[in-house]
């Protein structure tokens, strides 16, 4: 199919200093959980995006010196020749598809507390980075940089730039964002210096300007130099001479870099969940930059709609369409637009499971794209599978897992029948996506159903509940059971170990709410699942006018939401909706009128009025259908939530794997283990310095 003419503008080349991006699709630096310890995993992950049509593909944060050590978070480095070798694998993979490779040179300053290298963190004025976000909290405090430290910092950037060019990078970033060292020089709250690097905005931008110059000079103008800058706080600071300090700073730096990459300051706003932020949510903060500079500007906004992308360019907000999450969910997004197949884009749902992977310290995982992070280890490609399927498969259950299994088995060439008991496909997402803010999560279903409906070898049957006899009568060569999980009414003790179901009047689980049971208020929601369900149900009940109290054994609402950047907004949503929030409490008893709670640490008891109690605690998988078929000796696989109840991402990944491996030859299933390059591999007697 041909590209729609209105999208042609997205495929125009863009000059970035001495380099030219082949189109406007720019995979901006983003965390992948992949470090120099996994060079091939990283290269395959990034290279896949180049194959999918992204014109520029970047690394994540890449430390310029051991005084910038983010452990236990995964980060890359450019400290020595072994690191050069590790990055060269990635730049080769990116160049192989005609894309430019960019590296985000990074010094974390006070926000990187050097847990492994144990250097004292560096800062402009000794002001600590006090964030309580996962992994950032620390008992270490930074020291004040003197002029020698500033000279060192500039030299480290220059040396890292030389290594970056050796590794094959085309675009070198100076990173003044997200609380990291150059950002701290820009913001007066962190920068209280009285020398030439502090005070007026002109002095505060000095370091950033010198870093840009140093990187450019170190590579003799051969590489493009980008400035990545966070503007949220600066834009909120007043200025005597401009609409905000952000305007002043950009005006002062307008001719310094070859490219501006503009963003927010905090992970929760920069990478905001779709539950609380829509596509293009950065625009009100970054929209002015393009008007102050003639250098190209790239920015993100979880863009998946090509019409929105065109509008960003035509309205003069951005020159290049930045993508982090959309490029993870669909590395082939640009190619699909180019080939007139934009309705086949696997759109990011904004769930932030990807960012939770970084917080977990592991390779990126994605709800929509189960192949993310598996390109090299398992050899999974996001668009193609081996076409080796022979015979028929019956997939029972049309939730995320069943749909993913059917799709991948169909692509392998099996004759696939998908049987779903309900009138509609979608499983748990049919209802969950109707909870406040979760509408975009149904893209998991829309994408897969859209693909399945085009496949001649797949037939979809709704309103088809399958028991063991129906399955046997159907007579498929293989059976995949993906029948989902159920919520239990189990409580938990102060030690958070699940106990037994609570038996009392008007006790409900999320499955009851999904079935539409009428709830009498006031209602309490007791959450020890700690993901979105407890908070989303509270919002749902409050929206019906019910007086709602959220109770959790954890220290904050939706405790695991700190991993997905949801936690701040959950508390804000509770406040807007008038939902009471009681933390560090477990349910001791409930009689249909009053709820007895006890504090998990002190044991102190209190009672609150509640006519209904919703328990959001433990889910139970398992499948009587699977048990009966297995015991009867049938070739059957159990997958998705029925196998192990978890987030949708886990169900989709499990089902994808089950479908790839069903009846596959053992030689077709391999799991490779990556290994780092080391200085000692580069020659006798060569050891790394740090």
Q: Name the site residues for ligand SF4 (rule: CB under 6 A).
A: 325, 328-329, 348-354, 366-368
Quick one: 28 or 349, whose CB is closer to ligand SF4? 349
The option from ligand ADP, ligand SF4, none interacting with 93 (CB < 5 to 8 A, set by class) reads none
Q: Is the dihedral of CA 484, 487, 493, 499 positive or negative?
A: negative
Q: What is the dihedral of CA 435, 354, 647, 41, to 10 degrees?
A: 160
Report yes or no: 131 and 49 within 8 Å, Cβ to Cβ.
no
Nearest to 676 by CA among 664, 689, 688: 688
Report yes or no: 640 and 651 within 8 Å, Cβ to Cβ.
yes
DSSP-assigned states of every residue in 178-243: TT-HHHHHHSTTT----STTSSSHHHHTHHHHHHHHHHHHHTTT-SEEEEEEE-HHHHHS--SSSS
Quick one: 321 or 354, whose CB is closer to ligand SF4? 354
The option from ligand ADP, ligand SF4, none interacting with 354 (CB < 5 to 8 A, set by class) reads ligand SF4
What are the b/e assignments for 13-51, b being 16+ CB within 10 Å?
ebebbbbebbbbbbbbbbbbbbbbebbbbbbbbbbbbbb
Q: What are the beta bridge partners of residue 260? A: 227, 297
Distances (CA, A) of 397 to 174, 479, 627: 49, 11, 15
Quick one: 345 or 638, whose CB is closer to ligand SF4? 345
The option from ligand SF4, ligand ADP, none interacting with 482 (CB < 5 to 8 A, set by class) reads ligand ADP
Find out whether the peptide bond into 72 is cis, omega within 30 degrees of 0. Answer: yes
The backbone torsions φ and ψ at residue 147, rounded to the nearest 5 degrees and listed phi first, read: -60, -35
Q: How many C-beta atoms lie closer than 10 Å to residue 454's C-beta?
A: 9
Quick one: 430 or 546, whose CB is closer to ligand ADP? 430
The backbone torsions φ and ψ at residue 610, rounded to the nearest 5 degrees and listed phi first, read: -155, 130
Give, in degrees to the nearest 5, the angle at Cα 127 between 270 and 207: 70
Quick one: 479 or 651, whose CB is closer to ligand ADP? 651
Residue 509 Cβ vs ligand ADP, minimum distance, rounded to whole Å: 13
What CA–CA distance (Å, rounded) separates 629 from 595? 43
* 451's tokens: 């693909």
Quick one: 216 or 325, whose CB is closer to ligand SF4? 325
Nearest to 321 by CA among 30, 55, 43: 55
Helix (H) or strand (E) holding 410: helix 400-412
Residue 648 Cβ vs ligand ADP, minimum distance, rounded to whole Å: 6
Quick one: 361 or 501, whose CB is closer to ligand SF4? 361
* 402's tokens: 């069943």
Nearest to 404 by CA among 366, 435, 433: 366
Quick one: 65 or 365, whose CB is closer to ligand SF4? 365
What is the CB-side half-sphere exposure of residue 158 using CA atoms within 13 A? 15
DSSP-assigned states of every residue in 118-178: -PPPEESSS------STTT--S--PEEP-HHHHHHHHHHHHHHHHHHHHHT-SEEEEEE-T
- Chain residues that interact with ligand ADP, rule: CB under 6 A: 396-402, 419-422, 427-428, 465-466, 482-484, 625, 640-642, 651
Residue 465 Cβ vs ligand SF4, minimum distance, rounded to whole Å: 30
Quick one: 84 or 351, whose CB is closer to ligand SF4? 351
Residue 519 Cβ vs ligand ADP, minimum distance, rounded to whole Å: 22
Residue 243 Cβ vs ligand SF4, minimum distance, rounded to whole Å: 32
What CA–CA distance (Å, rounded) separates 398 from 404? 9
The option from ligand ADP, ligand SF4, none interacting with 350 (CB < 5 to 8 A, set by class) reads ligand SF4
Quick one: 150 or 354, whose CB is closer to ligand SF4? 354
Distances (CA, A) of 454 to 183, 246, 394, 426, 451: 49, 49, 18, 17, 6
Within its chain, how far is the Cα of 41 from the centroid?
17
Which is catalytic among the residues 173, 175, 180, 626?
180
Residue 401 Cβ vs ligand ADP, minimum distance, rounded to whole Å: 3
The option from ligand SF4, ligand ADP, none interacting with 277 (CB < 5 to 8 A, set by class) reads none
Is 447 a known active-site residue? no
The option from ligand ADP, ligand SF4, none interacting with 13 (CB < 5 to 8 A, set by class) reads none
Nearest to 407 by CA among 454, 464, 374, 339: 454
The option from ligand ADP, ligand SF4, none interacting with 398 (CB < 5 to 8 A, set by class) reads ligand ADP
Quick one: 143 or 461, whose CB is closer to ligand ADP? 461
What CA–CA distance (Å, rounded) separates 424 from 289? 46
The option from ligand ADP, ligand SF4, none interacting with 377 (CB < 5 to 8 A, set by class) reads none
What CA–CA distance (Å, rounded) separates 402 from 381? 20
Residue 608 Cβ vs ligand ADP, minimum distance, rounded to whole Å: 32
Residue 486 Cβ vs ligand ADP, minimum distance, rounded to whole Å: 9
DSSP-assigned states of every residue in 244-259: SHHHHHHHHHTTSSSE
Residue 681 Cβ vs ligand ADP, minimum distance, rounded to whole Å: 44
Report yes or no: 153 and 159 within 8 Å, Cβ to Cβ.
no
The option from ligand SF4, ligand ADP, none interacting with 368 (CB < 5 to 8 A, set by class) reads ligand SF4
The option from ligand ADP, ligand SF4, none interacting with 370 (CB < 5 to 8 A, set by class) reads none
Q: What are the beta bridge partners of residue 614? A: 508, 525
Residue 197 Cβ vs ligand SF4, minimum distance, rounded to whole Å: 37
Residue 272 Cβ vs ligand SF4, minimum distance, rounded to whole Å: 10
The option from ligand SF4, ligand ADP, none interacting with 484 (CB < 5 to 8 A, set by class) reads ligand ADP
Distances (CA, A) of 540 to 350, 435, 516, 522: 19, 6, 12, 14
Residue 346 Cβ vs ligand SF4, minimum distance, rounded to whole Å: 8
The option from ligand SF4, ligand ADP, none interacting with 466 (CB < 5 to 8 A, set by class) reads ligand ADP
Quick one: 74 or 510, whose CB is closer to ligand ADP? 510
* 46's tokens: 């990034």
* 681's tokens: 């591999």
Q: How many C-beta atoms lie closer than 10 Å to residue 428's C-beta?
A: 23
Q: Which of the residues are catalytic? A: 180
């Amino acid at each position: 199919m041909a590209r729609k003419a209105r999208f042609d503008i997205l495929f125009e080349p863009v000059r970035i200093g001495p380099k030219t991006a082949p189109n406007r699709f720019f995979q901006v630096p983003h965390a992948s959980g992949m470090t120099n310890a996994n060079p091939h995993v990283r290269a395959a992950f990034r290279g896949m995006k180049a194959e999918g049509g992204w014109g520029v593909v970047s690394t994540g944060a890449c430390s310029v010196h051991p005084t910038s050590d983010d452990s236990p978070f995964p980060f890359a480095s450019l400290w020595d020749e072994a690191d050069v070798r590790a990055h060269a694998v990635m730049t080769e993979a990116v160049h192989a598809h005609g894309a430019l490779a960019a590296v985000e040179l990074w010094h974390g300053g006070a926000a990187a507390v050097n847990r492994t290298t144990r250097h004292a963190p560096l800062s402009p004025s000794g002001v600590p980075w006090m964030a309580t976000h996962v992994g950032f909290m620390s008992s270490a405090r930074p020291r004040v940089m003197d002029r020698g430290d500033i000279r060192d910092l500039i030299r480290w950037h220059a040396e890292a730039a030389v290594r970056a060019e050796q590794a094959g990078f085309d675009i070198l970033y100076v990173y003044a964002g997200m609380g990291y060292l150059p950002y701290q020089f820009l913001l007066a709250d962190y920068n209280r210096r009285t020398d030439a690097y502090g005070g007026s905005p002109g002095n505060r931008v000095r370091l950033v300007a010198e870093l840009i110059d140093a990187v450019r000079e170190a590579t003799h103008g051969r590489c493009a130099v980008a400035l990545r800058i966070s503007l949220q706080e600066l834009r909120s600071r007043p200025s005597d001479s401009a609409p905000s300090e952000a305007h002043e700073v950009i005006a002062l730096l307008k001719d310094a870099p070859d490219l501006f990459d503009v963003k927010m300051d905090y992970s929760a706003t920069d990478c905001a969940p779709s539950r609380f932020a829509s596509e293009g949510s950065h625009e009100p903060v970054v929209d002015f930059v393009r008007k102050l500079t003639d250098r190209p500007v790239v920015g993100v906004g979880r863009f998946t709609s090509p019409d929105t992308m065109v509008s960003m360019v035509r309205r003069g907000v951005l020159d290049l369409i930045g993508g982090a999450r959309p490029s993870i969910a669909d590395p082939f997004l640009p190619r699909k637009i180019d080939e007139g197949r934009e309705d086949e884009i696997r759109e990011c749902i904004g769930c932030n499971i990807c960012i939770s992977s970084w917080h977990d310290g592991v390779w990126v995982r994605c709800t929509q794209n189960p192949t993310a992070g598996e390109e090299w280890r398992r050899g999974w490609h996001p668009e193609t599978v081996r076409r080796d399927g022979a015979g028929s498969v019956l997939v029972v259950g049309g939730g995320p897992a069943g749909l993913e299994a059917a799709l991948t088995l169909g692509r392998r060439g099996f004759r696939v029948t998908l049987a779903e008991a309900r009138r509609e496909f979608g499983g748990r997402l049919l209802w969950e996506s109707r909870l406040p803010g979760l509408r975009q999560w149904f893209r998991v279903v829309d994408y897969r159903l859209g693909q399945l409906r085009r496949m001649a070898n797949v037939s979809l049957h709704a309103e088809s509940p399958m028991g063991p006899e129906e399955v046997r009568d159907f007579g498929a060569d293989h059976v995949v059971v993906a029948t989902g999980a159920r919520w239990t009414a189990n409580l938990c003790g102060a030690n958070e170990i699940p106990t037994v179901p609570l038996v009392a009047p008007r006790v409900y689980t999320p499955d009851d709410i999904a079935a539409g049971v009428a709830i009498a208020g006031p209602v309490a929601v007791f959450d020890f699942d700690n993901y979105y369900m407890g908070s989303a149900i509270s919002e749902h009940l409050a929206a019906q006018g019910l007086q709602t109290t959220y109770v959790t054994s954890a220290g904050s609402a939706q405790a695991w939401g700190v991993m997905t950047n949801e936690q701040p907004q959950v508390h804000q949503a509770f406040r807007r909706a008038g939902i009471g929030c009681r933390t560090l409490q477990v349910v001791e008893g409930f009689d249909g009128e009053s709820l007895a709670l006890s504090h998990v640490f002190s044991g102190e008891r209190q009672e609150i009025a509640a006519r209904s109690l919703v328990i959001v605690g433990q889910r139970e998988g398992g499948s009587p259908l699977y048990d009966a078929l297995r015991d009867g000796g049938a070739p059957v696989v159990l997958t998705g939530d029925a196998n192990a109840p978890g987030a949708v991402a886990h169900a989709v990944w499990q089902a994808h794997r089950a479908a790839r491996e069903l009846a596959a030859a053992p030689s077709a299933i391999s799991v490779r283990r990556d290994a780092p390059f080391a200085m000692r591999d580069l020659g006798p007697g060569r050891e790394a310095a740090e």
